[in-house]
Amino acid sequence: MLFTSISFLYYFLPIVIAFYFVVPKKIRNIVLLIASMVFYFYGEPKYIFLMLAEILVAYIGAILIDKYQKKSLLVVTVSIHIGLLCVFKYTDFMISNVNQILGTSLPLFRIALPIGISFYTFQILSYVIDVYKGKVKVQKSFLKLATYVSLFPQLIAGPIVRYETIEEELDNRKHSFENFSYGVRRFTIGLAKKVLIANMLGELCKQFTGADEKSVLFYWVFAISYMLQIYFDFSAYSDMAIGLGRIFGFHFLENFNYPYISKSITEFWRRWHISLSSWFRDYIYIPLGGNREGLEKQIRNILIVWTLTGIWHGASWNFVIWGLLFGIILMIEKMFLGKHLEKWPNFLKRIYVLFIVMISFVIFNATNMAEAWKNISGLFGANGESLINAYTIYYLKSYLIVVSIAVIGATPLLKNMILRLKKNEKINKALNVLEPFSIVVILLVVTAYLVDNSYNPFLYFRF
C-alpha cells in the first residue's frame, strides 16, 4: 500500500487514526501493530510471515544476549538476519556472477524481494547490537518489539529508526494538538513533494528513457531531473513517515537536511539519508576501528563501508560501483582534497558536489554499467547525438516549471523565507489561519492528480 494511494489516504489512514485515539492508551500499541500487519499484508501477503519470524528471532535472541552476555549469541542472531537478507536479496546476483565467471548455467531462483526487508533488517540489527552493548534495555514484550519493527509509517522505506530513538515512547508517548497538527502538516508537505514534484520529474525521466531521438542537452536534462527526482521521492517518504510518526506520538529523527547545498561530498553524506549513513558509521565503520588505527586501515574501513552501502541499495554491480565511487572520493577528500576545498569559493564547492552526485545517480539509475556509461558519455556529446533537437525543446518547455520549482525546493530558500515572515507577529497569525486551508487545498490537488494519473512509483521500494 502506497502512502500516495487513494486507499491509504481516504480509507486506511483515517480508520487507523480514529481507532487509535478512541481506544484506551494501554492498547494503542495493539492498534498500531494490527494496522501495521494489515498495511504490510496488503502489499506482501506471504512475506508477512518472514517479517514475524525475524521479529521472533530478534526477540528471543535479545533476551538470551541480555541474560548471558555472550558474543556468540549476538553473532548467531545477527548472522540469521543477515543470512535471510542475503538469501532474499542477493541469491540470484551471486548465481549470475558464478555463471559468468565459471561459464556455468546454474538456474536462477527468481526470489521476489520482500518489501522493506533492507530497512527492517537494519532496525532489528541495531536493536540486538545495542542490547549487547547495554545501550538499550531488552524488550520483554513481544508485542512492543513487533510494534517497533513493523511500525507502518517507516516500515517499507525508512527512515531507519533505531530502537533507542523510540524506546521510551513505546511505553509512554505524549499526544497533543500541536504534535498532531505538526504531523499532518509534515505529512502533507511530503505528499505534495512526492506527487506534484517527484512524480512529474519521473515522467520526464521516463520520456528520456523511451526517446529514440536524444541530444546532449536532453542527457543533461535527464541527469539533473533524476537527481532531483530521487531526492524529492525519498525525502518525501521520510517527511510522510516523520509526520505520521508524530501523529501517533513518535519522534523519528530527520533523514534529509538539504543535501544539495553541500560544499563537499563528506558534508553531502551528513545531509543525505542520514539514518543509513549514521547506521554504517556506528555499526560498521567505528567497530572496524574508524580512523583510529592509521591511514591504511582507515582507507580499508572506508572501502568496506561504501562497498556495503552500495550492495545494501541493490543486487547489481552498478550499485557496488556507485558505493565505491563515493568511498574513493571521501578518501580523497580526507587525505588531501578537503584542505584545498576550504579555499574554493562556495559556488565552486557546490558545483563540484552537484556534478559528482549527478554522475553518481546516473550510475545508480542504470540497469547495467553499459547503460550508465552511455548516459554519462551522452553528457559530453560522445555518443554522436546533436547538441539540441526539437524533441528536447518540447520536453524542456513542458517540464521547465516543475524542474525550476524542484531546484528551488531542494534548497532552504523557501523555508528561510517563511521563517523570516513568521517573525512578524501579524504575518505569523495570518499564516497560522491560512495553514489549515492550504493543507486542504494541497490534499485536493494531490487527490485530483492521483485520480487522473497512474504514474506513482516509490524509487526506494526496491531497496
- pLDDT of the chain, 463 residues: tens digit per residue: 789 999 999 999 999 999 999 999 999 999 999 999 999 999 888 999 999 999 999 999 999 999 999 999 999 999 999 999 999 999 999 999 999 999 999 999 999 899 999 999 999 999 999 999 999 999 999 999 999 999 999 998 889 999 999 999 999 999 999 999 999 999 999 999 999 999 999 999 999 999 888 999 999 999 999 999 999 999 999 999 999 999 999 999 999 999 999 999 999 999 999 999 999 999 999 999 988 888 889 999 999 999 999 999 999 999 999 999 999 999 999 888 988 898 999 999 999 999 999 999 999 999 889 999 999 999 999 999 999 999 999 999 999 999 999 999 999 999 999 889 888 888 888 888 888 999 999 999 999 999 887 666 666 555 5
Q: What's 111's DSSP letter?
A: P
66 contacts: CB under 8 Å, gap ≥ 6: 131, 138
How far is 156 from 84, CA to CA, in rounded Å?
17
Contact 120, 279 (CB under 8 A): no
180, 183, 196, 246, 333 from 177: Cα distances, Å: 5, 10, 28, 11, 46
This prediction's pTM? 0.94
Annotated domain spans of the chain: 6-173, 179-462
322, 340, 368, 460 from 157: Cα distances, Å: 20, 37, 23, 6
Q: Which cell numbers in the block locate residue 51?
A: 517479517
Report helix, strand or coil for 54: helix
Q: Which cell numbers in the block locate residue 381?
A: 556529446
Instruction: Single out the catalytic residue among 81, 251, 273, 313.
Output: 313
How much is the pLDDT for 296? 86
How much is the pLDDT for 259? 98
How far is 360 from 376, CA to CA, in rounded Å?
10
Q: Which cell numbers in the block locate residue 316?
A: 547489481
CB atoms within 10 A of CB 429: 11
Nearest to 374 by CA among 358, 363, 389: 363
Report helix, strand or coil for 204: helix
Q: What's 436's DSSP letter?
A: H
- Does residue 273 carry a catalytic annotation? no
Nearest to 230 by CA among 26, 406, 34: 406
Contact 212, 166 (CB under 8 A): no
Nearest to 135 by CA among 62, 86, 48, 50: 62
**Backbone dihedral region of 371: left (phi > 0), alpha (psi from -120 to 50 degrees) or beta?**
alpha
How much is the pLDDT for 456? 64
Residue type, 60: I
Element (H, E) at 346: helix 346-365
Residue with cell string 530497512: 119
